Structure 1
Amino acid sequence: MNLTIVYSTRQHDPQFVEHLQKTCSLKKVEILAYTNSGDQSLSAVYNHALNQAKNNFVVFLHDDVLFESHHWGHKVIHHLQNSECGILGVAGTASLSTSGVWWEEPLKTIGIVKHQHAGKTWTSKYSGDFANRIIPAVCVDGVFIAVNRSKLLETFNENLTGFHFYDIDFCINNNLAGVKIGVIFNVSLIHKSIGQTNQAWEYQRAQFLATHKYNLPCTLKATLIFDNKPVKLKSYPKVSIIILHKSQNFLLFNCLNSLAEKSIYPNYEIIVADTGSSKPELEEIYELANTTHMNLNVVEFEEYHFARINNAVVFNHSDVNSALILFCNNDIELINDALTRMVQIYNQNQKTCGTIGCRLHFADDTIQHAGIQLVMNQEQLEISHKGFHTYYHFTDGI
């Protein structure tokens, strides 16, 4: 399986062709370079290339990119061969608003692209880095678009004259037709442009919106990303899991059930600190404690005070042999074996790490937090949740 690379340029540059050949690392790569002074739109050029290309896998890219990744051609072929996607890019979004501007909703953007201008290079991180994964998107930026021709249901729209919004229109039309689109992360490139908008861009945006005003906003639901492979540890230090609770037993039972179902960790105790549940609710909890295979104990408190009660449980009710304490809300549910994974991090970093947390998601699968950020702003410490309400602003594996 091989690849066709397509680009439009005002002036042919043999060095750029050599760069593409060298970095893609494919011996028989086909390169279709179209010299175009602006007489033809990119849509027209790219449609012509789709018809001319010898290969089923085609990459459309700008003529002002430099690839940092070697063997990127093999990576693109692997993604297209082994996924359901018909279109892939290196930057895009899971939600296109009524403005038609893909980067306008930063909570839902995806990808990583380096930019270079006026002697400076910087990285635009539209999301976390997900290595070899493909993250679902509704559209991708035209700086790099890889397609599987056999899965495309729409070509480029030649009614869009010029060099803007051909990419977004192409993606949205295919997305609406059922073609899957994604963003990849193991192809690294530098775009020698800052991507400024101009009058032509605004004009073609108006053209695009006139066509798609009834199709926007176009939004995908966030996709949960997590590792579910079993983790084996050399040691299993005892963990005391402390859960403060009051009423709404279904929350507590869902939490406990998820721990029993998702975790294989063998050495823990659970202490439910009840702060005022009704007598029938307490009876349910005690019944569970007496019948479950989990090492579950209940301690009653007369009033709720988060810090005071957690301290009391740690010093007065937890096992003195416990090496680790897990403070856990009663309204969380595990989606994988986060307990074993956190102990794994502890085992590997005992000398340098004293507190470990896991990524939390809201019910809509957006991020509640992927860690706590501490930032000094004009001598004032600001505390915030990293990735709050974003789709993919976190690091894979955390």
Structure 2
Amino acid sequence: MISIVVSSYQKHYFEAFSESVAKTIGTIPYEIIQIWNPGSMGICEAYNRGAEKAKYAYLCFVHEDVLFKTKAWGNLILAHLQNENIGAIGVAGSAYKSEIPSSWSIFKTYNALHILQHYKEKSKRPQIIKQPNNVDLFQVVALDGVFIATRKAIWKQFPFDEKTFTSFHGYDVDFSLAISQKYNLFVVFDILIEHFSQGNANNEWLLESMKISDKWRKVLPATCVNLNSGEEKRLKVEAKRRFEKKLSILNYNWIKKKYFKLKYVR
């Protein structure tokens, strides 16, 4: 009953991923839809192509450099998504997304993660990140794209925006914000995956994060928690500081001078 969609370009990862799914998903019917994508299309287009081919009612969009550590996780996905108020679930996300271009993860207080993460630094051992502890579900407004499960009917309402997001960044936050306008999103703590890479906040990422701020200007900042005015101001100031630092690191002074002040400081 689950169609698993993967934008794939590394054969060894995909083979290990497929074997992991077969050993852990449980007894429910499933299919893996591999969209071969060695940079020939953005991930939004790849995911939309895969979802169009899917024959089952539940969709799981997953990176190929992932192994599943939980047994019968397919049944857990179905159990979560039986609740019609839940639009999507994941293993990492945040209850706050700033209007300033940024990652979903910049404010740890509002984050939720349940993942066995590997790091770029070879000297740093992989570790399970579980935040917060002692909860089963944590409501968020943005999910990380490493793992997102939803119903096909919801994807049909909110397909990935392949016209706006043409690379491999921004698609997850955009997809989350679209779904969250009508449904609730949750990070779940009964599914654990092992992830072998980290994100890359490069120039391409920066431009895509700016697109999110432009597209969702009327919605952002987005949150599912109550914030007082002092906290709202603090988060905005901190997001602005981090954005300006990223502009400096990536040598985007022209954006800082001609674009940032006009569009992101109200």
Q: TM-score range by the shorter chain?
A: 0.7 to 0.9
Question: Is the 1:86–1:149 contact (alpha carbons within 8 Å) kept by the matching residues of 2?
Answer: no
TM-aligned CA distance change 1:65 to 1:168, over 3 Å? same
Aligned counterpart in structure 2 of residue 175 of structure 1, from 162, 169, 180? 180
1:43: Cα distance to partner? 0.6
Q: Which amino acid aligns with 1:51?
A: E
Residue pairs, 1:230-309, within 5 angstroms: none
The residue matched to 1:210 in structure 2 has which SS?
helix
Residue 183 of structure 1: CA displacement? 1.1
Tell me how far 1:27 sits from its aligned partner. Answer: 4.9
User: C-alpha separation between the residues in 1 aligned to 2:154 and 2:198?
Assistant: 32
Could you say which residue in structure 2 is the equivalent of 1:104? 106
- State the SS of the aligned residue for 1:76: helix
Give a deviation string over 1:347-375, Cα, whole Å, max 9, x none. xxxxxxxxxxxxxxxxxxxxxxxxxxxxx
Q: Match of 1:261?
A: none
Structure 1 contact 97–105 (Cα < 8 Å) conserved = no
Q: How does 1:133-152 map to 2 (within 5 A)?
A: 133-152=136-155
Tell me which moved more, 39-48 or 187-196: 187-196
1:240-287: CA deviations, max 9, x gaps?
Answer: xxxxxxxxxxxxxxxxxxxxxxxxxxxxxxxxxxxxxxxxxxxxxxxx
What is the aligned counterpart of 1:160 among 140, 165, 168?
165
Matches for 1:36-51 after TM superposition, within 5 Å: 36-51=37-52
- Cα distance in 2 for residues equivalent to 1:31 and 1:38: 20
**Whole-angstrom distance in 2 between the partners of 1:69 and 1:50:** 24
8 Å CA contact retained: 1:103, 1:109: yes
Q: Per-residue deviation at 1:33?
A: 1.0
Q: Is the 8 A contact 1:11 1:35 kept in 2?
A: no
> 1:9 maps to what in 2?
8
- CA offsets, 1:87-117, max 9 Å, x none? 1111111111123421112111122222113
Q: Kindly indicate whether the alpha-carbon contact (under 8 Å) linking 2:28 and 2:74 is maintained by their aligned counterparts in 1.
A: no
Distance in 2 between the 1:196 and 1:45 partners? 20
Any runs of at least 4 consecutive aligned residues in structure 1 with deviations exceeding 3 A, and if so which? none
Unpaired segments ≥5 residues, structure 2: 227-266
Paired AA for residue 104 in structure 2: W
Moved more, 38-47 or 205-214: 205-214
- 3-state SS of the aligned residue for 2:115? strand
Pair 27,77 (structure 1): closer, same or farther in 2 beyond 3 Å: closer
SS at match of 1:55: coil
2:220 and 2:140 map into 1 onto residues whose CA distance is: 14
Q: How far apart, CA to CA, are the structure 2 residues paired with 1:14 and 1:111?
A: 26
- Kindly indicate whether the alpha-carbon contact (under 8 Å) linking 2:28 and 2:75 is maintained by their aligned counterparts in 1: no
The Cα of 1:71 is off from its aligned counterpart by 0.8
Deviations for 1:155-200, whole angstroms, at most 9, x for unmatched residues? 1111211001100001101212x12211111000111113232122
Query: Is contact 1:151-1:179 (8 Å) kept?
Result: no
CA distance in 1, matches of 2:142, 2:29: 29
How has the CA–CA distance of structure 1 residues 182 and 14 changed in structure 2, closer, same or farther, with 3 Å as cutoff? same
* Counterpart secondary structure, 2:118: strand
Higher normalized helix content (fraction of residues)? 2
Worse-superposed segment, 36-45 or 93-102: 93-102
Shift, 1:127, TM fit: 1.9
Q: How does 1:304-323 map to 2 (within 5 A)?
A: none
1:188-267 to 2 correspondence within 5 Å?
188-221=192-225
2:131 and 2:104 mapped to 1: Cα distance?
11
Correspondence for 1:390: none
What is residue 186 of structure 1 aligned with on the other side? 190
- The secondary structure found in structure 2 opposite 1:14 is helix
Identity %: 29
TM, length-normalised to structure 1: 0.52
Equivalent residue pairs, number: 219
* 3-state SS of 2:138 partner: strand
Larger Rg: 1
2:114–2:191 CA contact under 8 A, matched in 1:
no
Q: 1:124 to 1:50 in 2, by over 3 A?
A: same
Name the SS for the 1:15 alignment partner: helix
- Specify the code of the residue in structure 2 equivalent to 1:181: L
Where does the alignment leave 5 or more consecutive residues of structure 1 unmatched?
223-398
Distance 1:111 1:15, change over 3 A: closer
